[in-house]
Amino acid sequence: MPRAKIQVAMDDADFAYLFDNAAEWGPKWEDLTITGRFRSPARDTIDTGWKWAYWFGGNHAAVLLARGFLDAWGHAYQVITDEGSDGGWVILTDYAWTEGP
């Protein structure tokens, strides 16, 4: 089935309601990435150069909205899964929600 485009107006405060947890990302997470806690469904490697990680649990709809928000503001990101928590979704990005778009 083809994907449908929808339009949703969001600001950074709305973005903050989408995720369950956030943390600074970076090389400190590399060991956990190597041991398999984090997996990338779309590619083989997980970039530890991102600044932030946002956890969405199993809420794929929230991931779709967050991706749309980041795309709209021109922020790059990588979607991965966290196999060490609830198996949920994580978005890595340089966007810090407290700064606004």
- Cα distance between residue 54 and residue 21, in whole Å: 6
In order along the chain (101 residues), what is the average pLDDT of each group of 10 residues? 84 92 86 78 83 94 96 95 84 83 51
Q: Supply the DSSP string of 5-70, one letter for each residue.
A: P------HHHHHTT-SEEEE-SGGGHHHHHTTSEE-SSSS---TT-SEEEEEET-HHHHHHHHHHH
pTM over 0.85: yes
